[in-house]
Amino acid sequence: MTDVARVAGVSLKTVSRVVNGVATVDQELAERVHAASAELGFRANFAASALRSGSSTATIGLLIKDLSNEFYANIASAVAVVAKAHHTQLITAHSGENAEDELEAIFDLCRRRVDGLLIVPTGGDHSALKSEIDLGIPMVFIDRKPVGLAADSVVLDNFAGARDAATRLINDGHSRIGILVDTLNMATMRDRLQGVRTAFAEAGLALDDSLVVTNVRGPIEASIEVDRLLASSAPPTAFFCGNNRSGIGVLRSLWQRGTNEALVSFDDFQLSELMPRPFTVVRYDNRALGTISAELLFRRINREVFDPTTVVLPTELCDRGITGLRGPQPQASQRARCT
């Protein structure tokens, strides 16, 4: 940088400000710095300065799965707000489909010298990350606890949310409920299924395992399962969906069929209140998953000492969709309109 300053005929401070993109630098001075930089092939390099100083990089990393799902996008958006408030750059990396890709992506972020990591894990074992935490990169896990590792996490009360959902359907008179969940490799799905089973047990009802469908990946798969289950000799009169993707698929199917099966789905989604038939969501503060996790991470980065902690966010049932538009309507003992 000293060479750039000399060639450009400006102060070192001016070079630094130009390199850091400070907009208040005089335009002519900035151009001289750019010209000198190009002449000298100079490029400011965070890596070099971080290696020299061993200091904070004012950067945190977020490892996340699929941004095209608004559940993940809302988490990322909320984390970005907290990072900005802490004058910290956020870099987001995308985990792959499997546990091996995920670990690789986490180690990659660590090598980029972030001050801390937020991870939405897809599954698999996280014990290999202990050495990174010991070396001073704190990690907070979002939506799912780490496996084989003591670290902070912020999760939903999946069990209670699912139990409430199933209890609501049972109270509305349903005993045959189609249960559509994603892979049971995810603790979230196991906890949600267990919540449903508990609601049935508490009501003294048997859950027909032929109505429990696992590995439902998306809306299309969910629609196919609706058709299959409703074509059976003892069809369900209601559905429980383990996430927004299958919920959307079931909702679309039921609307197209024009029938009155009830539906409760985990995860609220954009414009759910304008869906053309009533249903219920297991709602929670989606952005808070990101906000609280990021705040926990900054406490760790600031060397605050406390035991590994798990924050559990509550859920609530909210009725969505428009009632009375067409055909028979699901019956409900009560309606809970939330915002």
From 31-39, 150-158, 202-210, 234-242, give the range in contact with a second copy by CB under 8 A: 31-39
Which one, 111 or 257, has the nearer CB to a second copy? 111
Q: Is 157 in the site for a second copy (CB under 8 A)?
A: no
Specify whether the CB–CB gap between 213 and 183 falls below 8 A.
no
Q: Which amino acid is at 48?
A: A
Q: Is 48 in the site for a second copy (CB under 8 A)?
A: yes
From 100-108, 184-192, 210-218, 327-335, give the range in contact with a second copy by CB under 8 A: 100-108
DSSP H or E run through 178? strand 177-180
Q: Which residues of 243-279 are buried (b: 16+ CB within 10 A; e: fewer)?
A: bbbbbbbbbbbbbeeebebbbbbbbbbeebeebebbb
Residue from the set 28, 53, 135, 305 that interacts with a second copy by CB under 8 A: 135
Q: Is 162 in the site for a second copy (CB under 8 A)?
A: no
From 122-130, 157-165, 174-182, 259-267, give the range in contact with a second copy by CB under 8 A: 122-130
Q: Is 120 in the site for a second copy (CB under 8 A)?
A: no
Q: Is 147 in the site for a second copy (CB under 8 A)?
A: no
Q: Is 269 in the site for a second copy (CB under 8 A)?
A: yes
From 35-43, 184-192, 195-203, 307-315, give the range in contact with a second copy by CB under 8 A: 35-43
Measured CA distances, 161 to 32, 304, 317 (Å): 61, 32, 8
Q: Is 288 in the site for a second copy (CB under 8 A)?
A: no
Q: Is 227 in the site for a second copy (CB under 8 A)?
A: no
Q: Return the DSSP state at 264.
A: E
